[in-house]
Chains A and B, each alone.
Chain A
Amino acid sequence: MIPSIKHIGLTFTFLCSSLLAEAKVWTVSQQAGKGTSIQQAIDKAEAGDTITIKEGVYRESTIQVNKKLLIRGEKGAVLDGQGQHEIITITADGVVVQGLTLQNTGMSYMEDRAAINISKSRLCTIKDNVIKNTFFGIYLEESHNNRILNNKIYGEAEMEANSGNAIHLWYSDTATIVGNQAFNHRDGIYLEFVNNSRIENNISRGNVRYGLHFMFSDHNQYIRNTFEENGAGVAVMFSREIIMEHNKFLHNWGTASYGLLLKEIYDSKIENNTFDQNTVGIYAESITRCHVFSNTFSRNGWALRMSGSSMDNVFKKNNFMSNTFDISTNARENHNVYSQNYWSEYSGYDLDRDGKGDVPYRPVKLFSYVVSEVDASALLLRSFFIDVLNYAEKIVPSLTPATLLDDQPLMKPVL
């Protein structure tokens, strides 16, 4: 204990690290029961030091981190914004924030208030934090090469207009976002102008708008994420060379919902994803040269809704099981390839036993074409008349695109 610091009412422990000659560990605790002291510890510390925050609820004004520090929370260390302000603002490279609980930033229409804001900084790591009831969770602007790992971000969003995003990146390239959980915000993960990033093993659930929302973000990878029960699902727009693999899109169910919305996407790969119980599995508008392989679409309202402006896409080895409509399109012509998919409604036969049906399958029913033209006609779903109509069209296709067919429908699901 150093008396000169103790008399301010704050307890600082000052230790020399045996590992690094220069690095010091500063401990902040609340044992004296008075105001917080994290900012002062930061001001005293040198770049490369560690600040350990002991158990307690710290109510300080926004903490400015302007040098390379490791800020580490011990169990029960809580930083509270008291509903008034941002909690941590990082403006230095290489900062690590770890193990903290951050809560209550309050909502603002004037600024994008976040639990942790990284501004124009590189190589920071935000790890193992719990963020509760904040406007924005983790907010990056013009900050490249940062890592966001294993954070749990819980929001209480009810309306789109007055809620923020759990993880928000803007002009921040080469980000690594792994193992986070984003619940009940506006968007779970939001990326705009973010290139070459990896988004893996995250769970995004119960968000008011999108589970994942990204625009103008090229060359990104989305792997093994789960998007569940979000207001409108996942929206991917105006991007090229995206890899989406092994993701789960579950139960995004509502009048204006979809599992995955694709708009203006080029040269991307969508493989091994699961789409279960979404109003629309994939809603594709103007997507070009995309490979949609080995996905499973089950129990969706529409497995695929393709707009006529989508071209040169390949749909292969996908499973379409128990969807109300397999494919719906508003186009009379088909410019995409559908081949070797499994369709649970396929009723053809396989005489030569090569596992591929001998009769082509037409996934677009007349009724799904009618519904895509006249929305209101969906009211006649499961009417006996519609079954008759579909059957007639199946035998003699007149309205549905004649070339939209799977010439080698699989007899058994792809595993």
Chain B
Amino acid sequence: MRRLLSLLLSVGFLALFSSATSSDYHEQLLLRPLHPSLLLASFNFQSNTSLASFEQQNFRYFPRSLGQILQHANTRELHLRFSLGRWDAESWGARPWGGAREGGTGVELWAWVEAETDEEADGRWLTLTNALSGLFCASLNFIDSTRTTRPVMSFQPTGDHSNSTLSDLHLLHGTLPREVVCTENLTPFLKLLPCKGKAGISSLLDGHKLFDASWQSMSIDVRPICTPGSDDCQLQITQTIDMVLDIQRSKRPRDNPIPRPIPEEELKCDTSKPYHSGDTCFPLDAASQEEDWSLSQIFGHSLKGTCSLAQDGADPVCVNVPHARHVYASEGALEYKDASGYSRCFKIAPDKDFELVLPQQEISEKTPLEQPLLYAERSFIGYGQEHGGVQAILTNPSPTKAVDFVYMESLPWFMKLYLHTLRAKINGLDEDIIKEMYYRPALDRKRGTQLEVRIVIPANSTVVLTYDFEKAILRYTEYPPDANRGFDIAPAVITIGDVAIRTTSLLLPLPTPDFSMPYNVIILTSTVMALSFGFVFNLLVRRFVAVDEADQWDFRSVRVKLRRF
């Protein structure tokens, strides 16, 4: 398992660290078939620029628009994530990049901002979110103080910061679980790349395919890296896109996307069945067959040459399949097989289109799945409109190793957490496994709850973390337009060293009022007030006489009067 992890990372992730010192550009696509009939495509783009030219605002590989924002907001390190869908760890194994390039559903942003005071940091954070919101066409400007936390145990800077700046750095973290990531976020993302989706692996990226994926994540990381012992510092920007594509679904032609039954002559029937005849067919089990696919089928078109800026010698396309699997590449491409037996990479001719075809093949050997360090599930428990509870199930699948991790929740203020109800049960037993806890209670309409818990799970154990909360009643104007949909609760972040895992987001239903209520209240109170006023007024002003003394309404005289007109 470890060997596989190192293999996976050595292709891209670790290569980034080794090649970090030169001013360069690097890109790589890693394709990994997942079971059943899915394909994980990991795009990685990375460029370095010297910190000196960044400060002089001479931008070459580093995007100018982002660079200006970072300088304007005094941001020293930035991490931005756009994600959609759920990573199915049970059948897909460990996350790509160990979860380091992935965010919770919606948009997640955390950054180290240089400022002398907390207020100054908040101001710069506001500038940053507003500017990024404009750059990426996302509602990042809605990350206000109620959605911002300052994590204490969960996040650590990944860049090299000098000790003097480190003391002035403020970590701020914000999430927007409600944000729907879509094509308008991909377009600015591609514009940040030097080759802009015109050449190289980025030419495969297409909004139709990306947002049709079962799971996808886009990330941008900016961090300074310095060679130890010298002042030679560089600023590194890493952009990744990971997506899990359904091969069957992607192969549907775009102009005719409705799935249709397989024609009769192409059906593969199990002829050993007694009822098999000309009009009955029991389909053969196709699970042993590897799905056939090609780049142009999956992404809509083939790869358009290489991005000529990437000159670090890394192979731009890698596929993680056993060596026994047939892989056909287009002419001019060179194939390099990895010694591990499960990976091969391709060197591409610069100006030619590159195509990769994997035919259908019966093969018993499968690329082993890497086991994740932890399985995490989170859901609501409880009932009613007033109270509720959250339950997180965390399983350590390793038979030998204990896992030490930090579980972080940032809850909105209207979800009032009762900390005394926080329980951690291990394998059904109450045991003291919470090593450390950081809790920052919510302030109504000002900030949300922040809860960080450090837990150690022994090998092969399951921890169930539960707590109760109360639902606050919001003011009339605080409800969103579709209030009955519920409120999205940001995913919990589980940090295990460098690896980060996020649970899915939750949908919290709050008691919603009838929104025509204020006008009804106005009408009702007005009516009551007018009635009582009229009653008192008439009592004081009217003269009371006997019935036979009162003036009578004479309908006939009215009729006579009307006729006169």
- Pairing of A with B: no
Q: Which residues of B does A touch, CB under 8 Å?
A: none
